Amino acid sequence: MSRRGTGPRLAVNPITCLAHGMCAELLPEYVKLDEWGYPILNGDPLPPDLVAHAKRAVADCPTLALRLDPTS
């Protein structure tokens, strides 16, 4: 799906996600949508050049369902 990095990982709360699909528009390299519009995330650590895009996707999620988890 994309390059593997060493940054944080995207995660979604499936309870609060309402399938707006904005995250897939803002970060298509790491988010695809299923047939109902719910995000399918690439769980690999983000490469450095995509972290800013991921932060924007997290900030713009209308229901605050998207988050970045630190890579352990």
17 binds ligand SF4 (CB under 6 A): yes
62 binds ligand SF4 (CB under 6 A): yes
By beta-carbon proximity to ligand SF4, the closer residue of 33 and 51 is 33
Nearer to ligand SF4, 50 or 61 (CB): 61
CA–CA separation, 45 and 38 (whole Å): 20
Tell which residue, 56, 1, 14, 22, has the closest CA to residue 68: 56
Contact 24, 39 (CB under 8 A): yes
List of residues contacting ligand SF4 (CB under 6 A): 12, 17-23, 39, 61-63, 65-66
